[in-house]
Chain A
Amino acid sequence: NAGVTQTPKFQVLKTGQSMTLQCAQDMNHNSMYWYRQDPGMGLRLIYYSASEGTTDKGEVPNGYNVSRLNKREFSLRLESAAPSQTSVYFCASSDPGYTEAFFGQGTRLTVV
């Protein structure tokens, strides 16, 4: 009964390094999302994927790329990390027949 699984849980990067955050869901949901959560800013949508093979920009897409590898997996890539990308990143999935989003436990990323 895993739900939405994110890896890694914690990461420290140096400015300019790249990394990929992984997300997988086992609920057979079509839609998947990447959010970032910052103090005082709340949850902000980075990218989303309505179905396998499609991706769309959210509110704060600059500096990120995504890949919807298959129905289960949706990855977020930082090509050249910047301190402004220090945040907690959440992956979520949902079924288009409902209005609920299911969230993973988050990835705490620090860029120094």
Chain B
Amino acid sequence: QKEVEQDPGPLSVPEGAIVSLNCTYSNSAFQYFMWYRQYSRKGPELLMYTYSSGNKEDGRFTAQVDKSSKYISLFIRDSQPSDSATYLCAMKTWAGGGADGLTFGKGTHLIIQP
């Protein structure tokens, strides 16, 4: 079993819908959780970063962590065609250290239909 599981999709939804993207993990030591967004033929870029459990909101994006269930989610409200991309979850057990020890999910390919 991989440490981080993520459904690769594709996930196709109509414009304006609420999107839910999810990852599960097995290592209970993970404490720092990130979502990266990767447009086609581009490198990943950091979208959201959260620590521990609870919600974090940034505009149309909300990151949610449920450490008891080892489950993280990214919600996108009022989805736009420009949100079409691959979303990778990533996590690590300690803060700082850059990308050292960062474990990535495989990414979910999201398509927002106009």
Contacts and interface: CB of A to CB of B under 8 A. Distances in A.
Interface of A: 4, 29-31, 33, 40-43, 48, 50, 90, 92-106, 108
Contacts of A94: 98-100
Interface of B: 6, 8, 32, 34, 41-46, 49, 88, 92, 95-100, 102, 104-107
Contact of B104 (A29, A31, A42): A42
Contacts of B34: 99-100
B43 A98 contact: no
A87 B49 CA distance: 28
Given A33-B99, A99-B95, A100-B98, A4 B106 contact: no
Contacts, number: 72
A101 B102 contact: yes
B106 A99 contact: no
Contacts of B99: 31, 33, 48, 92, 94, 99-101
Contact of A104 (B8, B43, B97, B107): B43
Nearest to A93: B98
A100 B97 contact: no
A98 B96 contact: yes
A41 B107 CA distance: 9
Contacts of A4: 43
A97 B98 CA distance: 7
B106 A96 contact: no
